[in-house]
Structure 1
């Protein structure tokens, strides 16, 4: 009887100890940008501030900044310089005024940044901005600016929560570079409307993004990749993102327009019209020249 009482007392004490331990919260199936990042996010203009709009009939050329800074000690992508050249030619072919820079000081002038209709982060790497530059980018977006993130823009500024929200998630890792079938999800959006029959096949580093952008209720998924067509499988440390693995998406974020694609790793894709027109229409939408983020 004494032993039984002792066991019961021990079990009771254990329960009290366990009750005092923190319980891991169950992550919700979906949440809003405001719930996770504390700023307004939407797939319509309810979170857009039209303070940076051009006046009707304005004849100034559209201005695009291509930013490609990679932090010291980080290996840049092999196609970085070629990609900057290809994007510059693409935008200049549309008559846009293009500035390409890998200098963080570019973002430290408010007037310089605010003169841009859209800012493109092309395969930036790790800490790409100074604290002042981060502040200026936030102010730019809050005034109705445009942002396009391409490929390793997802591998940038991991310690900056606002930037993670801008992207909708960041690079966790990726499996082997391999071919996969890309599938259109929002056929009405101009950045994917050109893709014939709604699919194309390309080789890429298929990024696993965390947090999963699909959990944000106010993000519009534009493209996915069919993981069943990725014959080399995933990495050893991530099971993949499953059905509907996101590749490109868009949203209104903290006053501005933001459009993202994980595509852009190889030299070959810089000559792929599916990719080039995808990016061009994304830029047009974020700057307000074309329709943006249609479902």
Structure 2
């Protein structure tokens, strides 16, 4: 009887091993709590874990920068979740640059954009430099490209509440904007006393992607408050960006006119 139980356990283990080995890719999420972005983590982590189970990828969650001391080539994509690249030490920055140059995928979420001009290369990887943001407000997002994985399934007009980041001019002309915020739907000048925000005008991007020095870069400015990480559409938006950064796939070719 005991031999039968042991044999059954071995058979079950053999069947379980391929299921674990078949995860489609591995993703590192760097989510280092900071002064203005820490309470989101308790919501974001379980949401990312569910995302990983749903989409069959391996998730490595990092509360600090120690994974950047190791082998980054094992990750199909690295997500900086409300964590700017300036958190990395000089040797870690070099490893991350090598990772991008080797064809790695990068995803920047919200605070990851705000680098305070501490690392020029990273700002070029993002594509723009953060300038300021007004109070958290409700605004309307215009999805201008439905052919990119991070916008598949999103409505043309999306009501959203967040910090609407402003940036300086892009570093290159190859940034492909997939979503803008309509500045007529909120007050871009509503900011704290002594500070100034003036908006960006008709073209105010909140998500874009580009290819950079051999790697793939997807950036979304959305994601300040914890509640957003329970929103299904937002999580689909994030996963679409992760999927593209990890694989380079999923961009739908535009149909030519008949």
Superposed, 1:29-48 pairs within 5 Å as none
- Give the match for residue 201 of structure 1: 159
* Residue of structure 1 in register with 2:12 after alignment: none
Which residue of the other structure, out of 102, 106, 118, is the alignment partner of 2:63? 102
SS at match of 1:140: helix
The CA distance in 1 between the partners of 2:232 and 2:49, in whole Å, is 15
| Of 59, 63, 71, the match for 2:26 | 63
What are the equivalent positions in structure 2 for 1:50-199 lying under 5 Å apart?
Answer: 59=22, 61-70=24-33, 74-109=35-70, 111=71, 113-125=72-84, 127-156=86-115, 158-196=117-155, 198-199=156-157
Return the TM-score normalized by structure 1. Answer: 0.73
* Higher Rg: 1
Q: CA deviation at 1:125?
A: 4.7
Query: CA, structure 1 residues 136+209, in 2 after alignment: closer, same or farther (shift >3 Å)?
Result: same
Is the contact made by 2:81 and 2:112 (CA closer than 8 Å) also made in structure 1? yes
Give me the whole-angstrom Cα distance separating, in 1, the residues matched to 2:65 and 2:172.
Answer: 30
3-state secondary structure, aligned to 1:93: helix
SS at structure 1 position matched to 2:86: coil
Change (3 A) 1:282 1:293: farther
Kept in 2, the 8 Å contact 1:173–1:208? The answer is: yes
**Does structure 1 residue 225 correspond to structure 2 residue 184?**
no
Task: Classify 1:291/1:60 alpha carbon distance in 2 versus 1 (closer, same or farther; 3 Å).
Answer: same
Q: RMSD of aligned C-alpha atoms? A: 2.2
